[in-house]
Amino acid sequence: MKLLCDHTRLREGLALVNGIIPTKATRPAIENVFLVARDGALELVGTDLEVALRLSITDVKVGEPGTLLVPGRVTADFVRDLAGETVQLESSGERLVISSGGDRGELPTHDPEEFPVVARFEEKGALAIQGGTFQKLIARTAFAAAKEQGRYAMHGILVVVEDETLRMVATDGRRLAISSCPIATAGGPPKRAIVPTKALQSFQRVITDPLETVHLSFADNQLGLRTKRAEIFARLIDGEFPRYNAVVPAETSHLMEADAETLAKKLKLVSNVTSNDARAVRLSLSTGRVVLYGRSAATGQATSQMDVDFKGDECDIAFNPDFLLEGLRNCESDVVRLEFNDRTSPGKFTLGENYVYVVMPITVDI
């Protein structure tokens, strides 16, 4: 292999692939990046066996085509710190020589046959969606996915295509985020996949132009995404996702509408006096206002109030403030809408168009 390519493109490509490659693995080959040089392009491939990324760098001067398997982390770090505008890669025996201007490095190579086979994107039946919209659906839901040990399926995001709608759903059993957008389909049965949260966040990073049209492909055991320069695949989680529709209140007797930014500030203020043992803020609602209460035996107590639009009987409801603040950070509307039935029923927050966040209340005295 011998080639000359743009330094910036190579640096950025290696950084993306190294976001996938593990630093320590039971299978040493996957700690490497697989390089393929041919037809005026350099292909970088990395995987952790759960997520796989193939990224192409074009406008490369390929003097000698070939394949190499080189250490992922050190290659990315060395290329990152080069100062030249172009980088030459050349294989020499069992070494890769990297040079740029007066800088030169020699890195060990490994047998390319040890690297696992990475699938190619399946064009048939692929769905088109704007890249920025796909990124937004992930951002709206990923924060609500489970992080602690528990039901395996909750460690992923449910991706559903049905009725010309793409929907993503995430839950940790105490809260639930649902976001959707219209999508053109060619008919056929609904498609469902539970995708690891970390994998979909990798999908986000691969999309560098939010206006670009990207393509999504569902397979039996993986979800694939193709952009102009990359293909990325995620192995699916095998499990039963919770029946999320049953959690979303269909009818409610209480409705509050509040300025989202002000509510976030008030929640953050009052939550400062709560402790990990009593992480709760009570909302006392009455006509025209809400009073927020927080307290703990160790740190004291606090109250704050703000004007709101409220319909329903005077009532209280308490939530984990961290859950509410995470939702409000992703709120896309100036006004947040809260609906619920009583202090023990789920609170349904509307954070934007086709964007619902359901939080279970905390039934403790504050």
Query: Which residue, among 107, 142, 94, 166, has the nearest Cα to 329 in the 3D structure?
Result: 142
Return phi, psi of residue 228, to 5°.
-60, -30
pLDDT tens readout for residues 36-74? 999 999 999 999 999 999 999 999 999 999 999 999 999
Q: List residues bridging with 257 in a β-sheet.
A: 309, 337
3-state helix, strand, coil in the chain (%, to 5): 20, 45, 35
Strand order in the sheet with 230-235: 66-71, 32-38, 41-47, 51-57, 230-235, 222-226, 213-218, 127-130
Q: Please state the pTM of the whole predicted model.
A: 0.92
Give the Cβ contact number of residue 242 at 10 Å. Answer: 15
pLDDT tens readout for residues 312-321? 999 999 999 9
Query: Which residue, among 334, 195, 197, 202, has the nearest Cα to 262 in the 3D structure?
Result: 334
Domains of the chain: 2-114 (3.10.150.10), 127-245 (3.10.150.10), 248-359 (3.10.150.10)
Alpha helices (H) along the chain: 7-18, 72-80, 131-142, 197-206, 260-271, 321-329
pLDDT at 275: 84
Tell me which DSSP letter residue 278 carries: B
- Check whether 152 has a pLDDT greater than 80: no
DSSP 3-state assignment of 125?
Answer: coil
pLDDT tens readout for residues 236-286? 999 899 999 999 999 999 999 999 999 999 999 999 999 887 789 999 999
pLDDT at 251: 94
